A and B are shown apart, each in its own frame.
Chain A
Amino acid sequence: MFRIQDLCARSIKEVLSGISLEVKNGQVLAILGKSDSGKHLLGEILAGKCPAISGEIITNNYRRHTHRQKTQIQTGYLANPVQLEEFLTGFELLDLIGSLYHLSPVARTQRIAVLANTLEIGQALYSVIESTDPATRQKIALAIALIHSPKVLILDEPAQYLDFVGQKQVERLITDQTNEGSSVVLITDNLELAERLADEIIILDQGQILLAGTLQRLINQTKSRAHSLDGVMKTIFGYA
């Protein structure tokens, strides 16, 4: 379970004012919005990358500012844009991150094998990251976020650079995580992906929650004719 209360934060581009939300175990919450709506800043704050001005972040009953280590170890984060250690291979980086999460060598081997197979990284796993293509980098970054089987997963644009096969692999991974009881926060502009995966959806605008609820509830609230997330967004933001 993952909960935030009255979160306020600011960066040069984005602002968040009074955000409260909750993601239950095994649920996917999609956060949508325009470019500077605050969704990327929200991801960074939830991952512990940026400090918040005020507010409470609670991960499985641990408050962030009193139990930082315990909340961090339960969180996995995929940043956007992806930044990796260019001079290491994907395997080495996964092994390093796994060891820093105190995974045993056996557990590390098994986990890396499972993730590499699911994401079909193949031999590129043993190439220096600098020489790999964007899709492979994205898959390695995703595997890093999942290496320690986190209870809370924050994914900022997980399917970017991936083809339709890669997108399906990501979907399967997210579904596997939720089946194991993890809470997933999905920050994306990919409306089809959000529609397929999300149990709840939050639409942000200028740092505030504009709409929140299930897809059906959003359709009802906006009275969208299209009966899809795309229709909801068109109704709200008025694009053609």
Chain B
Amino acid sequence: MLKGTVRFWQIRLNQLLNKTTGPDYLLVLLLVCFVYLIGRIWSHWTILSISTTILLLVNIGLYTSVFGLWILFLWRRLPYWAAIFLLAISVGWVSTYNPALVVITNINGPGIYSQLLTMLIGIGLLGTITALFELTKDYQPIRPRQFLTVFSRRQVFPSFTGMGNLVTMGVLRIGRDRFFIATLTFLIFTLVANGMGWFPIGNWLIILTSGMVILSIIISHRLTALSSSLLERFPGLPTTVGAIDFAVSIAGTLILAVISWALLFGLLQLNVVDTVWLTGIFLTGGIDALLISRSARLLDNYGLLGGWWMVILQLVALGMIYLFLWQLNLSGVLLVLGVNMALMVILTSYQESTESVTIKTSWLS
């Protein structure tokens, strides 16, 4: 009995923390560390506020885990319904108790500090929901998943050439990612939930940009995997790594631009000028990610000085990002968007080098 229980939890733990989910947790952890550091620099971080934040995170985590797990067991045949229900509970909870408001009360008034704390809570909740999504894997029956195949293509698109098709597949690959869907849904629901409160626009923007950080990381992570693996898996393809990189970078930028436009323009009623600057930031971010992936490969193949001109181009792209950032005269947004870009850059290059090493190792095995 005891052995069986231990084995059950071992399997659950393996599902929660494995090669696939590991990077996602790492991303969330990195983000939390970043935000914490910024919070330290930006404001006076007292023991009271730290303990309040930790307690809130733990409570949210426990709340969703305990109830969520039972629902998953009861509804094992329809895990996505359970996930939607879980999400609804979380959003209802957020909108009713407004944890961000509790934090704000604790730290004497809103400001950049409270906005960052709100972001922390959002990430904590998101992590819990994602972990529960991972738990559902075992219970999914072996049959075509309608949830994933809603946008399945059944006809060849006549106008799509090789690269056009690659962009489409890149978009589809991200769109079908459970983690991506969960993040996007959470982002939208949180915005709506906070809309019921009386938050200042800056708070909304912080939540929004934190969501965008995660989304951009997911996009770059998944597209890098597609880009690196395609030629490795199908070595006969008459295309080049550069062409694939270019196509998938376009796909990622397109997705980010569409989501940013929809959220920023539709929900926050930003003016056109700000939207243009934000689109510029995302486009330059996409170009920067492409340059990084290319220079990581050059670095790997030709040594430290092999991709020096790529590094210069990267600096130019980063410079443009910061120039665009300064055009946005919004409190707190500059900082978080800066973090967004830095994270995207660091994690893309990290992921790229890992993929490269994996390919080389597989050659030797």
Contacts and interface: CB of A to CB of B under 8 A. Distances in A.
A83 interface: yes
Given A11-B363, A100-B238, A128-B144, A84 B233 contact: yes
B153 A91 contact: yes
Nearest to B239: A100
Q: B145, B149, B162 — which one has the most chain A CB atoms within 10 A of its CB? A: B162
A50 interface: yes
A105 B158 contact: yes
A91 B152 contact: yes
Interface stretch (A23-31, A72-80, A166-174): A72-80
Interface residues of B, number: 41
A89 interface: yes
A92 B172 contact: yes
Contact of B156 (A49, A95, A131): A95
B290 to A, nearest CB: 19
Contacts of A13: 365
Given A92-B172, A128-B144, A79 B233 contact: yes
Contacts of A97: 234, 237
Interface in B155-176: 155-162, 164-166, 169, 172-173, 176
Interface residues of A toward B: which range?
35 or more
Main secondary structure of the interface of B (DSSP, over half): loop
A13 B361 CA distance: 12
Contacts of B160: 99, 105
Given A13-B365, A77-B235, 10 more contacts: A72-B235, A77-B236, A92-B169, A92-B172, A97-B237, A112-B156, A124-B144, A126-B152, A127-B143, A127-B145
Interface of A: 11-13, 47-51, 69, 72-73, 75-77, 79, 83-85, 87-89, 91-93, 95-102, 105, 108-109, 112, 123-124, 126-128, 130-131, 133, 144, 150
Interface of B: 140, 142-145, 148-149, 152-162, 164-166, 169, 172-173, 176-177, 222, 226, 229-230, 232-239, 363-365
